[in-house]
Amino acid sequence: QVQLQESGPGLVKPSQTLSLTCAVSGASISSGAYYWSWIRQHPGKGLEWIGYIHYSGNTYYNPSLKSRVAISVDTSKNQFSLKVSSVTAADTAVYYCANSAVVAPDIWGQGTMVTVSS
Amino acid sequence: QSALTQPASVSGSPGQSITISCAGTSSDVGGYDYVSWYQHHPGKVPKLMIYDVSKRPSGVSNRFSGSKSGNTASLTISGLQAEDEADYYCNSYTSSTTLVFGGGTKLTVL
């Protein structure tokens, strides 16, 4: 049973870089069978796909965020990470990590709330 | 990429059937059989209900079904139950090798 757990600061200052990690258990992140995604939900709004990565290093990003987002994999720790640079209040959201055995993200983490504020 | 278009809200009475639409383009919904649907109860984790247009993950009730016609996908819930009240999101693969969500639909069980 694949399980995912997000971790990272709950508060980030404007213009700084938001960094989150997703620890994976029950599956190897090096498995070519999966893509590893980040998704967010702004308060009171809908879901927004941020991007995903294959263990091979291939990454795919939401075009609206591409210039500020980076997703990476750490196979030694069986985890993957998200960095969002130059954050503003508009990046305040619940951030979810998820994995995809099919195209659609199917197993999700519990989510972590990140607030951008000085 | 633009979000897929869903109705903001739908409602139905217990036992009835409802359908939620998800309109896209030939570059996403219409171009690939990779449409999925999520159920999201506020404060909980989104749950995959349908993938690849019409496939149900193990454990999902057969009251939930998906279909697609042209650039529009649909989620149908039959035998509506109180526990079905939630937000529903569609998602599609795109020609840019990305994913895109719909704006979400709030389902109210009357």
Question: Least CA distance to A44: which residue of chain B?
Answer: B42
**Closest among B16, B19, B9, B17 to B108, alpha carbons compared:** B9
- Please tell me the distance in Å from A96's CA to the nearest CA on chain B: 9
- Please tell me the distance in Å from A45's CA to the nearest CA on chain B: 8
Q: How many CB atoms lie within 10 A of CB A75?
A: 11
Of the candidate ranges A21-35, A61-75, A103-117, the one whose mean pLDDT is the lowest: A21-35
**Closest among A89, A1, A95, A117 to A40, alpha carbons compared:** A95
The DSSP letter of residue A8 is -
Whether residue A34 has pLDDT greater than 90: no
The number of C-alpha atoms within 13 Å of A17 and in the hemisphere containing its C-beta is 11
- Name every chain A residue with its beta carbon within 8 A of the beta carbon of B28: none
pLDDT value for A79: 95
pLDDT value for A57: 81
Residue-wise burial string across B2-16, b where 16 or more C-beta atoms lie within 10 A, e elsewhere:
ebbbbbeebebeeee
Judged by CB atoms closer than 8 Å, whether chains meet at A106 and B48 is answered as yes
pLDDT digits (tens, 9 = 90+) for A16-33: 999 999 999 998 888 777
Count of helix runs (H) and strand runs (E) in chain B? 0, 9
Question: DSSP labels for A13-50?
Answer: -TTS-EEEEEEEESS-TT-TT-EEEEEEE-TTS-EEEE
